[in-house]
Amino acid sequence: MHESEQVPSARRRLLRLSQALATAYQAVRAWVPSFWLLRRSVRLPVVTVGQHEGIRATVGTLTLRRVRGARRAPRTPALLVSEDGLTSTDQAFEDAKSNALAWSTSQRPSRRRGTVAWTLTDAHGQPLPSVRGNSTGAAFAVGLTFLYGLSRSARRPVDRRAVISAAVTEGGLLATVTGLNHKSRAVREAGHRLVVAHDDGPAAHAARQTGKPHTDTAVSVHQAVERAVLRRSRTVPLLALALVAASVGTVLLLRSNDAAQRSERATTVQQLTDRSRIEVGSAPDTAAQLALRAARTDPQSMTARTAQLDAAYFDPRLTDVLDAGPSPQAIAYDLHGTTLAVASHSGVTLYSASGHRRLAHMPAVHGTVTALAFTPSHRLLVATDQGLVALWTPSRGKGAAASTPWRVVFQGQGRTQAIAVSPDGSLAAWATLGDGVYTAGLDGAAPAVRAAPADARITSIALPTDGRLVVGRLPDKQKPALLLYDLTHPQDQPRVLLRRGNLELASQGATALVVADSGHRLISAHLDDSVRVWDTATYQEQKEISVPGSAVALALSRDGRTATVALQSFPAIGTVDRQSPGAAVLTLDLTTGRQLGEAYAASYACLTAVLATAPGGDEAAVVTVAGRVTFWRRVHPSSRGAVHRIVSDPSHPSSVLVLHRPGTILRYRAAALNRPPEPVVDARTYGMGLDMALSPNGHVLAVSHASGVISLWKYPQGTLLGKPLDTGTPHGANRLVFAPDGRNLAAGDDSGHAILFDLRSHSRGAAIKDSGSAAVNALCFSADSRSLVVARGDGATDVIDTATGRLVHEVTMSPVASTVTRHEDGYFIGFTDGHLGRYDRSLRLVGVLGGGPPQNYVVEATESPDHTLIATTGPQQDGVLTDTSTGAAVLHLPTNEHPDSISDHLTTSFISNGFSADGRYAVFGTARGQLTSVALEGSQLRDRLCALLTELAKECR
């Protein structure tokens, strides 16, 4: 028995040994470079979908083989010839093959390019009788890349288990294909892995959850090649490291320790960053503290930098954070805006308006405080969930923590539903669940008088004028939403306010009531997605304002012109829950009915409906689900006009130059955009300003105007340099750019004309032949100033010789190139579909940033002075900062401007961007003149984060 058991044991050991040897061989082979010049053929696994006996996917092999013969002329396409003439194909397959051939021809030419024979065989080596579809297009392109060494990655061996299934465009981008589920099943059965287009990634990864094969995604052919090479195992470098470590000894051991520390720091930074992103909406102070800890752990980490930017600018309107204890139930500003009262389980605490200083505290007595209301005399009416209504007079002396005793006004039964104070502060009203609605004078001379019966559906009350009481409630069959009581005739029946003809609008529940204009107006919030304004003289409805959700809370500025409203998409039935998360808090102009900016923290489900508005109307305080009181400042559009261009100012490294629409150029300090800017040039004499450029030496400013001229100004003196340059176009040049050597200025217009000006002779330079009538989208000189890239709206992108004006190279790009920015010896090109790609000086694709398209086209792209970041802007999208080395987005900056209509997104989005010359700030501008700066590093970014902390961190001391 013992001998028989050793036989299978020996086989298992032999099997494990053979597997280990195979793994070692594959690992060594993956690290040894492959010489593509010696390759005569390439074999790639492919997967196709056929219609034989139903829809079925087949895994086969695509073989590309060089055929000896005469060499072909340069730039002449190679021939793809099938070795099996009986193979049946369709038009989609032929188009995919042609696209792959066209892309490979546009790459670096090879001297050995000639005829390439191909075959498609099944798993048994038999030729496929029929091939349909374009799913093998990427396989042809990848095979040609390996055959001719068109990519650096092609120098590594191909992995014959990497099955590529994607369509390919002439530009080398991958597109989606059909039959993914059938292909995934076939690839899994063959033991291979699948490479698909980026847009097929979500579906492929979803299929992987059901046991389908490992799936990689790629955007371009170059990325597909990277996915198709043998994966390098860590076994080989670890063995090499062990051999070197044995010979070197202590030195490599120390380096290994350093690497372990870096890895540990990277892990710690990643963990802190992930936690910061979770907390950024509900607890901004915690997110800021975690981001500061990540930066302290590794100051050079781009991940830590991303965490800092996310925490600091997830919403630029957030100015401060207050940790006022667990679950604040109510907050209120006094009438002067100097004090903020916060009610929580521990009682009522008074803070300075910014929340930085604690002024006084009243401990909780007989229940939890649920409602607050300031009187004109700075006294505070307080109500609890146990029916207690009290009046508190805080101390104003030097003993900030001391206060005069509070006085009980009423002790009822059950929860206090709502409280109100008359505009003159003489009368108070409250509603309790078990007693009803009572009124009483705040001087305490007379007892409380019952004004309305108990009602469990009361949500709010108001005292607009003498002798009147308005009760808001959630309607039912017995009572409507708004009732008006005459306190001088308590025996009269209440008047129903919400009527339309003889029909009572019982479905329009009132959730909040606020008095404005010293009692002359009443503002009500309703569950039917509306806010209403009432004239208290007649109690007739003056205005109905539609809002995008059920209004559950309302707060007004002191002048009654601005309202802060909390909306809930799916409010609780039969009650008003202001503590639940997910409230959209927005600001309304009650005069015009317009929404002033986007909702606060609109991208996060973190705000509750517990809120207050500062008397001035520009600031609001809102409680988050984590119990923080967050302070928000509304951003006003600028009156100086749209921002058409932002450029760095080398003479003032911490500032930027901004061209506004009327034709004025102003200098802004990037750290203090709210301060008045310095005037630099007033070019309004020549008409509206379209674009601006600053010469490389920083001494000449060029401004294009709608009148068709370009004015040149000496900088920083701001004096005119000679006569303006005449573009010869009626509407002026919409694009301007200086050559890096400062000798030429290029201009382009909407008619498709591109013009070169020689600045030494102050005249036109070499004539550029127009290749079409489409608008010039972008202009960019090469690093040596010898060529100019002209991108037009029809997709034509030309490379022009600046000395002769001759066309050197022409590429038709699809999608259309919308912006071109110089990067090292090549370019960054943004497209109308949102892609941002890196190209060499011959306009060949090198890589794609971001791994996939954003939501729409790129209007402008600017690279930072240190070449580590690129800023992009476009309609209906945020300002985006992207890491140029990794292609990952570092920050998405919202504009927070609300469009007046669907077609108004262009005016509310960021349309221009730039960096300060010292690289410490990125500045974004909108068509409404709003400017937003982002501190990128150093003490400025730290100060922004420290402003959000409730407790001072080590970095902030």
H helix intervals, 681-816: none
The pLDDT-based confidence of 957 (bands split at 50, 70, 90) is low
CA distance 218 to 902: 34
CA distance 559 to 615: 7
Which is it for strands 339-344 and 347-352: parallel, antiparallel or unpaired? antiparallel
Do the Cβ atoms of 559 and 589 come closer than 8 Å? no
Average of per-residue pLDDT across 367-375:
90
The pLDDT-based confidence of 20 (bands split at 50, 70, 90) is confident
CA distance 595 to 562: 10
Does residue 669 have a pLDDT over 90? yes
pLDDT of residue 78: 63
Chain centroid, CA 225 distance in Å? 30
Least confident piece of the model among 65-69, 338-342, 841-845: 65-69
Does residue 472 have a pLDDT over 60? yes
Tell me the chain's radius of gyration from C-alpha atoms: 35
pLDDT of residue 230: 81
Q: What percent of the chain has pLDDT over 90?
A: 28
The pLDDT-based confidence of 91 (bands split at 50, 70, 90) is confident
Does residue 398 have a pLDDT over 50? no
Which residues pair with residue 351 across a beta bridge?
Answer: 340, 358
Chain centroid, CA 852 distance in Å? 14
H helix intervals, 561-704: none
Least confident piece of the model among 38-47, 436-445, 715-724: 38-47
Hey, which of 318-332, 479-493, 649-663 has the most confident mean pLDDT? 649-663
Do the Cβ atoms of 754 and 769 come closer than 8 Å? no
Please name the amino acid found at residue 477. K
pTM for the model: 0.68
Which two tokens mark 614? 């500062």
Least confident piece of the model among 387-401, 795-809, 820-834: 387-401
The pLDDT-based confidence of 440 (bands split at 50, 70, 90) is very high
Do the Cβ atoms of 931 and 668 come closer than 8 Å? yes
More confident residue, 954 or 858: 858
Average of per-residue pLDDT across 46-53:
68
205-217 tens-digit pLDDT:
766 666 667 888 8
534-562 tens-digit pLDDT:
999 999 999 999 998 899 999 999 888 99
Average of per-residue pLDDT across 395-403:
51
Which residues pair with residue 576 across a beta bridge?
Answer: none
pLDDT of residue 401: 47
Which is it for strands 369-374 and 358-363: parallel, antiparallel or unpaired? unpaired
pLDDT of residue 255: 77
Quick one: DSSP state of residue 173?
Answer: B
- Phi/psi of residue 57, each to 5°? -95, 145
CA distance 377 to 396: 12
pLDDT of residue 463: 94
Least confident piece of the model among 98-112, 335-349, 608-622: 98-112
pLDDT of residue 137: 84
Which two tokens mark 244? 């070197």
The pLDDT-based confidence of 86 (bands split at 50, 70, 90) is low
Q: Within a 10 A sphere around the Cβ of 675, how many other Cβ atoms?
A: 9
CA distance 821 to 740: 13
The pLDDT-based confidence of 507 (bands split at 50, 70, 90) is low
- Phi/psi of residue 316, each to 5°? -60, -15
Which two tokens mark 913? 């961007």
CA distance 286 to 521: 41
pLDDT of residue 503: 43
141-199 tens-digit pLDDT:
888 888 888 887 777 888 888 888 888 888 888 888 888 778 888 887 777 888 888 88
The pLDDT-based confidence of 955 (bands split at 50, 70, 90) is low
The pLDDT-based confidence of 459 (bands split at 50, 70, 90) is very high
